[in-house]
Amino acid sequence: MKPGTVITSAHNPKVKSLLSLEKPRERRRQQQFIVEGKKEIGLALQAGYKIGNLFYCVNIFPETDLKSLNIEDKFLVPVTQEVFDKIAVRENSGGVIAVAEMKTHRLEEIKLGKNPLVLVLESVEKPGNLGAILRTSDAAGVDAVIICDPQTDFYNPNVVRSSLGCIFTKQIAAAPSDETIAWLKKNKISIFCTYLKASRPYHEVDFKISSAIVMGTEATGLSDSWVKNSDANIIIPMHGKIDSMNVSTAAAVVVFEAVRQRGPHRPHP
């Protein structure tokens, strides 16, 4: 293993290129994004993502650990503590950051197993919420997560960070709501929309069938097209003075009810 010369300046072209990826416009232009942490980088590699430059702090990340990531020598970029502190978004990234190539995420690329459970999010805005929902989806063994009319992108550093790498463990897709509704109907997946004006409690719905759980934003809820095309509009009964909860929390409540109904021995997709 022959890493290059240790970079000591944040003005280095490789460092400046990495920092530029914090901007959505540059991520789209370069079709690249940032992954922090050894575990997260390992999950990205397992999912077939191509890793470019890998920056590591010589004072934090042991060079012996580089072998397990199996990155070509020419992509290894050692940096000083000062430089690493400037490029790290997370506080505890373990001293290693990689640049990865984006993938396409189309509906037709999703591989459905028998009796799928799908989570659909319409117009999700906050990267932290999306990351938390991806963690829930991983824990519950959801087959796929579909983002409709997204207000944030999958590769926002805060999505990758808050998902703890679960963005790489789940099938994900982005598509307009009308295309997603048509895709669900084509695949005979029942649509269950969380809706504040619904009267049917979520736990009374049969999630044992092929199901799509659809969540809207806290501010505006779901669009009319989802409500009109759903097989059942459901609600999480509230017993306090507010009528809604954080979308990531609501997703966890409904998804794990579906998992409970399906039994403890549901195979992982």
* Domains of the chain and CATH, by start: 13-101 (3.30.1330.30), 107-262 (3.40.1280.10)
CB of 89 closer than 8 Å to CB of 161: yes
pTM to 2 decimals? 0.88
Paired sense of beta strands 144-148 and 117-122, if any: parallel
Contacts of residue 79, defined as CB under 8 A and 6 or more positions apart, other chains included, come to 6, 7, 8, 15, 55, 56, 57, 58, 87
Each residue's pLDDT tens digit in the chain (269 positions)? Answer: 455 689 999 999 999 999 999 999 999 999 999 999 999 999 999 999 999 999 999 889 988 888 888 898 889 999 999 999 999 987 778 899 999 999 999 999 999 989 999 999 998 878 889 999 999 999 999 999 999 987 768 899 889 989 999 999 999 999 999 999 999 999 999 999 998 787 799 999 999 999 999 998 766 678 889 999 999 999 988 888 776 788 899 999 999 999 999 986 554 44
The H-or-E segment that residue 20 falls in is helix 13-20
Q: What's the confidence (pLDDT) of residue 269?
A: 47
CB of 141 closer than 8 Å to CB of 115: no
CB of 194 closer than 8 Å to CB of 214: yes
Q: What's the confidence (pLDDT) of residue 220?
A: 66
Q: What's the confidence (pLDDT) of residue 4?
A: 66
Q: What's the confidence (pLDDT) of residue 89?
A: 82
Q: What's the confidence (pLDDT) of residue 123?
A: 83
The H-or-E segment that residue 148 falls in is strand 144-148
Q: Which two tokens stand for residue 231?
A: 């097989």
CA distance 69 to 222: 42
CA distance 136 to 254: 11
Q: What's the confidence (pLDDT) of residue 266?
A: 53
Q: What's the confidence (pLDDT) of residue 218?
A: 65
Closest residue by Cα to residue 124 from 92, 157, 151: 151
